Amino acid sequence: MASKKQSIDQHLSKIMSLNLSIVDLAVQKLIAEAADEFKTKTKSETAKYIFENSKKEVALNMKLLEPSITEDEKMEINKQIQKLKITNLIYEEAQQMRIKTYYSHPSFPYGHVFSDSGISSVSTKMAKNVVVSEDNLVRDNRRTRIYHPSQKELTLQDAKVLIGIHKLWEQHDKQKSFEFTIYSLAKAINRDTSGKTYKEIWSSLEALQDSKFEFIYAHEKGILETIDRITILQAIGKSDPNSSFKVTFSDAVYKSLKSGAIAYLSLAILEDLNTNTAQNLYLFFPSQVEQGITSWRIDEICELMGIKANRPAKKIEIVKAACDNMVELTLLNSYKLHQDEAQNVTLIINPSSLLLKSTKLAHHSDQKIEQISLDLK
C-alpha cells in the first residue's frame, strides 16, 4: 500500500529536527523525498510558491536589521528563514524531478483523429437560444466539420478526458469497448476525485458522445473526400458516476487507433503551458510534424484553435505568446512569423527533440497507419 502523502510542514518538521546544515547528506536525502511528493505541482504553481517564499525571506532579513530586536527573536527569525530556504529547495528539486519524470518520457496517448484537425477549441462559449438539432454545425475549418445538438464546442477539458480514455484503452489491451470508473479516469489525467471533478468529466464524456464529425481524407491520387458523420465515443454506458461504465470507440476511430494512428504527450507539459492556445497547439503539433508539416497561415491556426480574435495584430499576439511559451518549455527550438508581400503572415516552427518524441514513440515502421484526416495544401 502506498504511504500517505505528507504536507510541506510535516517534511519541514522532520528536516528541521535534525538541526543540520542544508548541505548535509541526511538533509539532502529528506529534501529529495519531499520533492518527490511535490513533483506533480505545475511550473507556474511552483514558481508562485517560490516567489512568495522569497518575498517573506527578504522581509525577515530586513527585520533582522532592526536595532530593537532581541537575541531570542533573531534566533526565531533565522529559523523561519531556514525553513523558507529549505521549502524553496524542495520545490526547485521537485520541478527538476517533474522534468525528468514527465517531460522526458511522454506516455499519454491520443488519437490523431483528435489533433489533425484542431478539434478542441480554446473557446468555451456555447451558443444561446439554439434549437436542438443533429444538424447544428459548430465548426467548419476546411479539415473537419463538427456538429453538436446544442452547438457546444469541444474544449481542452474534453481533450484531456479523451487523452485519459486513450491511456485507459492501452491499459485494457486496446479493446474497442472497455469498462472503467470515473475515479480511474480522474487519476489517469492527474485530477482530484472530488464531486466537481466527477461532474466535469461526465460533462466531457457526454460532449464527446454527442458531437459528430466529418473528417477530410485523401485517396492515393490526391482525391479528397469526406467520410460520413461519426462519433468518437459510440456509447458511455451507465450514467452513475460511482459505478463502472462502458466506453465504446466508433468503428472509424477504433480502426485508426488500432493501425497505430496515435501520438504521445505529457499531461505535465500540457498543464505547465500558460495559455489555452499553447496547450491546444501542443495537442495539434505532433501529428502535423509527423506528416512533415511545420508551417501554417496565422488565419488557419486561429481557425483550427478556435481563436475568436478578429484583428490581425491580436491574432499574431495570441499565437506569438503561445509559441514563446512553447520555446520556454523547450517544445520548440525556435519559430518565425513570416509576412509575405500580400501581408499574409505564416507561422513556421522548428520543433525540438522533446516535441519530436511525441511522434517518434508512436511510429510503427511495420504498419500502415490509417489517418482519418490529412492536411489540405
Same-domain status, 95 and 209: no
* Final residue of a structural domain among 61, 79, 103: 103
Cell numbers at 250, concatenated: 466508433
Which pLDDT value is given to residue 368?
A: 46
What is the C-alpha to C-alpha distance for residues 281 and 279, in angstroms, rounded to an integer?
A: 5
Nearest 5°: phi and psi at 296?
-150, 145
Cell numbers at 369, concatenated: 497507419
Same-domain status, 206 and 258: yes
Same-domain status, 220 and 340: yes
Which pLDDT value is given to residue 366?
A: 43
What is the C-alpha to C-alpha distance for residues 48 and 366, in angstroms, rounded to an integer?
A: 47
What residue ranges in 10-169 does DSSP mark as E strands? 108-111, 137-140, 144-147
Any domain includes 195: yes
Any domain includes 219: yes
Any domain includes 191: yes
Same-domain status, 48 and 149: no
* Final residue of a structural domain among 103, 130, 155: 103
Any domain includes 366: no
- As a whole number, mean pLDDT of residues 332-341 equals 95
Q: Say which DSSP state 143 is in.
A: S
Q: What is the pLDDT of residues 281-315, one digit of tens each?
A: 999 998 888 888 999 999 999 988 888 888 999 99
Same-domain status, 203 and 304: yes
Amino acid letter at 5?
K
Q: Say which DSSP state 120 is in.
A: S
Angle, vertex CA 306, rays to CA 300 and CA 307, nearest 5: 80
Which of 33-42, 120-129, 319-328 has the highest mean predicted lDDT (pLDDT)? 319-328
Same-domain status, 69 and 135: no
* Final residue of a structural domain among 103, 121, 149: 103
Q: What is the pLDDT of residues 55-88, one digit of tens each?
A: 999 999 999 999 999 999 999 999 999 999 999 9
In the chain, the number of structural domains is 2
Domain that holds residue 325: 108-358
Q: What is the pLDDT of residues 227-267, one digit of tens each?
A: 678 888 887 776 665 678 788 888 878 888 887 778 888 88
Q: Round the average pLDDT of the chain to a whole number and report it.
A: 85
Same-domain status, 167 and 274: yes
What is the C-alpha to C-alpha distance for residues 46 and 49, in angstroms, rounded to an integer?
A: 5
Nearest 5°: phi and psi at 199?
-65, -45
Count Cα atoms within 13 angstroms, Cβ side, for 38: 28
pTM for the whole structure: 0.83
Percent of the chain predicted with pLDDT > 70: 87
